[in-house]
Amino acid sequence: MKKTVLLIAALLLMAVPAMAVPNVDISCDKDDVNKMVTVSYEVTGSTHLVRAFALDINVTEGVNITDACVVDANYRIFPGQIVITGGSITDYNTPYVPGDIGDSKVTVEMASLYTEDANYEDDANAGFGMKPGLSGTLLTFHVDANFTYKVDQNMVRGGIVMEDPTEQPTVDSPLCSGTIGGEAPPCVVPDIVGELCADAEGLIEAADLIVGDVTTAYSNDVAEDVIISQDPDAETPVVCGSAVDYVCSLGKPHVPNVVGELCVDAPGIITAVDNLAVGDVINTYSNDIAEGVVISQEPVANTEVLIGSDVNYVCSMGKPHVPDVVGLTPAVADTTISGVDSLVPVNGGTEYSNTIGAGLVSSQVPVGGTEVNIGSTVTYKVSLGKPIVPSVLGLTSVAACATITGVDSLVCVNDPCQYSDTVARGLVMIQNPVGGTPVDIGSSVHIVVSMGSNCYVGRPDEAEWIKAGRPLCWCYPRQCKGDADGLADGKSNYWVSQPDLNILKSAWQQANGPVGAPRACADFDHLTDGKSNYRVSQPDLNILKTYWQQANNPPVTSCLPGNRNP
- pLDDT for residue 427: 92
Cα separation, 3 vs 104, in Å, equals 8
Cα separation, 162 vs 12, in Å, equals 9
CATH of the domain at 409: 3.30.10.20
Cα separation, 292 vs 260, in Å, equals 10
| H or E stretch covering 437 | none
Number of domains in the chain: 6
Position 277 in a domain: yes
Contact in structure between 299 and 306 (CB atoms under 8 Å):
no
- pLDDT for residue 103: 64
Query: Do 368 and 304 lie in a common domain?
Result: no
Query: Do 295 and 345 lie in a common domain?
Result: no
Position 556 in a domain: no
Q: Tell me, what DSSP letter sits at residue 475? A: G
Q: Domain boundary residue among 425, 450, 475? A: 450
Query: Do 147 and 92 lie in a common domain?
Result: yes
Query: Do 26 and 107 lie in a common domain?
Result: yes
Position 137 in a domain: yes
Query: Do 162 and 45 lie in a common domain?
Result: yes
Query: Do 418 and 517 lie in a common domain?
Result: no
The identity of residue 109, as a single letter, is: E
Query: Do 143 and 37 lie in a common domain?
Result: yes
Contact in structure between 316 and 284 (CB atoms under 8 Å):
yes
Contact in structure between 382 and 347 (CB atoms under 8 Å):
yes
- pLDDT for residue 377: 95
Q: Tell me, what DSSP letter sits at residue 418? A: E
Query: Do 160 and 53 lie in a common domain?
Result: yes
Position 566 in a domain: no
| H or E stretch covering 330 | helix 330-338
Q: Is 199 strand, coil or helix?
A: helix
- pLDDT for residue 274: 75
Give 249's Cβ-side CA count (13 Å radius): 19
Residues 6 or more apart whose CB falls under 8 angstroms from that of 497 comprise 489, 548, 549
Cα separation, 179 vs 209, in Å, equals 20
**Residue 36's closest CA among 71, 65, 11?**
65
Query: Do 303 and 428 lie in a common domain?
Result: no
Backbone angles phi, psi at 519, to 5 degrees: -70, -30
Contact in structure between 287 and 254 (CB atoms under 8 Å):
no
Position 278 in a domain: yes
Cα separation, 377 vs 342, in Å, equals 9
Residue 530: give the domain boundaries.
462-546
Order of strands, sheet of 243-249, starting from the edge strand that comes earlier in the sequence: 210-217, 243-249, 227-231
Position 38 in a domain: yes
Q: Where are the alpha helices (DSSP H) in 173-303?
A: 197-206, 266-271
- pLDDT for residue 439: 94
Contact in structure between 547 and 495 (CB atoms under 8 Å):
yes
Cα separation values, 153 from 24, 65, 172, 347, 566, Å: 11, 18, 9, 79, 132
Q: Domain boundary residue among 128, 160, 180? A: 180
Gyration radius from the chain CA atoms? 59
Contact in structure between 139 and 54 (CB atoms under 8 Å):
no
Query: Do 21 and 74 lie in a common domain?
Result: yes
Cα separation values, 197 from 200, 227, 246, 252, 309, Å: 5, 6, 9, 16, 26
Backbone angles phi, psi at 213, to 5 degrees: -80, 130
- pLDDT for residue 5: 32
Q: What is the dihedral of CA 321, 327, 333, 336, to 10 degrees?
A: -50
Q: Tell me, what DSSP letter sits at residue 224? A: T
Q: Domain boundary residue among 163, 180, 197? A: 180
Query: Do 19 and 109 lie in a common domain?
Result: yes
CATH of the domain at 18: 2.60.40
Query: Do 152 and 62 lie in a common domain?
Result: yes
**Residue 248's closest CA among 211, 210, 208, 277?**
211
Per-10-residue mean pLDDT of the chain, 566 residues long, equals: 33 40 88 85 86 80 74 65 47 41 70 77 72 84 76 80 84 78 75 95 93 93 95 88 93 94 96 90 94 96 93 95 96 94 92 93 95 94 94 94 91 90 86 95 93 73 78 81 83 85 87 66 83 84 88 65 42
Position 391 in a domain: no
Q: Is 155 strand, coil or helix?
A: helix
Position 10 in a domain: yes
